[in-house]
Structure 1
Amino acid sequence: MSKGTKVHDVAASGFSEGTNDLYDKSRPSYPSSALWTVSSAFPPRSNLTILEPGSGTGIFSRILISPPTSDYPKIPIKRLIGVEPSEGMRNAWFRGLERIPKTLLEGKEVKCVQGSFDDFSKTGVEKGEVDGIVIAQAWHWCPDHEKALTEILDYLKPDGVLIFVWNIESNELGWFRSLRELYEPLDLGSPQYYRGLWRQTFEAETYKNGLQPPEMGTSEWEMVMDEDMLVQRLFSKSYLTEKHLNGQRRIDFEKELRRLIREGDKQWVDKEKGTFIYRYNTDTVVMRRKQTA
Structure 2
Amino acid sequence: MKVLVLGANGMLGSEIVRSFRRFFEVIAFGSKEADITDQTSIQKMINEVKSEIVINAAAYTDVDGCEKNKDHAIKVNALGVKNVAEACKEAGSKIVHISTDYVFNGTSKKPYKEDDETNPINFYGESKLRGENYIKEVFENFLIIRSEWLYGAGGKNFINLVIEKAKNAGKLKVVNDQIGAPTYTKDLSEAILALLKKDCRGIYNAANKGHCSWFEVACKVVELLKLKVSVEPIPTAESNRIAKRPGYSVLDCNKLKRDTGFVFRPWNEALKDFLGLI
Q: TM-score range by the shorter chain?
A: 0.3 to 0.5
More helix by share: 2
RCO higher in structure (CA 8 A, sep ≥6): 1
Give the TM-score, by structure 2 length: 0.37
Give the TM-score, by structure 1 length: 0.36
